[in-house]
Amino acid sequence: MSRLIVRPHAPDKDGIVLAVSPESAGWEYVGFEVAKLEAGQSLQRDTGSLEYCLVFLSGIANVATKEQSWDNVGERMSVFEKIPPYSVYVPNGNSFEVTAKTAVELAICSAPGKGSFKARLIAPSASAQENRGYGNLERQIYNILPESEPADSLLVVEVITPEGHWSSYPPHKHDRDAMPEESLLEETYYYKIQPEQGFAVQRVYTDNRSLDETLIVKNGETVLVPEGYHPVSAPPGYEVYYLNVMAGPTRAWKFTNDSEHAWIMTKPEDRK
């Protein structure tokens, strides 16, 4: 198996079924976990030096931090319902407890915190929605924690790619700390496929091809993008969802397109 793919496992006592840490990934910033909780089950954690974004992929729960609590957080029962998620931002030096009222699938996104912001609920209405691309490059975006919203390190976004379409395309990268042209951001992709027996295709490659892998990704798996370009394809018949978590030394999404494929940004009717 590729070192870039992280597969789910049986739930531990906290319901964690998938875990990526900076240590396991061999990088510095991004942590990512998925918990599957049964109704009535709770997950508790001190945030320590990390800030967190808890993304409710499906299900409803009560959430409490040191200062605030929210009841009945969540709405959708599937990421393919085409509505943005409920999420909760929790800063470092805090804690959270999630108590499931229904079966819950929860994405736990983390990165270094500086204590700059308070815990808050991120309602679906606060997640800016956009359609990106054209033709078979079009996909639906939910910006959960973009750089325009307060956080110390984390950038979090959902993408739904229709069957037969391409996403994260044209190929782009953000692996150089060379602001303002490009930011260095580690990134995880957490995949859901509909129907579940399907797959997505993701390529991860660098200009010098020291890294050049083409991955077949199944439902519930995560891809690590430590560097390089990373386009995604949704095969015919299979809708592909992924949750992106990014963090690095500068909280900004500045990327460079692969020069060989940047021409695709121009719509056919505008090409001469």
What does the alpha-carbon distance between residue 232 and residue 90 come to, in Å, rounded to a whole number?
A: 30
Whether the pLDDT of residue 251 is over 70: the answer is yes
Q: What's the pLDDT at 272?
A: 63
Q: For the chain, count helices (H), then strands (E).
A: 1, 25
Whether the pLDDT of residue 128 is over 90: the answer is no
Q: By the 8 A CB rule, do 176 and 248 touch?
A: no
CATH code for the domain in which residue 134 is found: 2.60.120.10
Whether the pLDDT of residue 91 is over 80: the answer is yes
**Residue 80 falls inside a structural domain:** yes
Whether the pLDDT of residue 96 is over 90: the answer is yes
**Residue 241 falls inside a structural domain:** yes
Number of domains in the chain: 1
The answer to whether the predicted template modeling score (pTM) of the entire model surpasses 0.85 is: yes
Q: By the 8 A CB rule, do 51 and 151 touch?
A: yes
**Distance in Å from the first CA to the final CA of the chain:** 44
**Residue 270 falls inside a structural domain:** no
Residue 47's nearest CA partner among 119, 105, 100, 104 is 119
Average pLDDT over residues 157-170: 97
Summarised one tens digit per residue, pLDDT across range 188-230 is: 999 999 999 999 999 999 999 999 999 999 999 999 999 999 9
**Residue 271 falls inside a structural domain:** no
**Residue 53 falls inside a structural domain:** yes
Residue 104's nearest CA partner among 61, 72, 45 is 61
What's the pLDDT band for 265 if we cut at 50, 70, 90? confident
Print the domain residue range for 250: 5-265
Whether the pLDDT of residue 165 is over 80: the answer is yes
Q: By the 8 A CB rule, do 39 and 101 touch?
A: yes
Whether the pLDDT of residue 267 is over 90: the answer is no
Q: For the chain, how many residues are written?
A: 272
Average pLDDT over residues 134-158: 96
Count CB neighbours of 106 within 10 A: 26
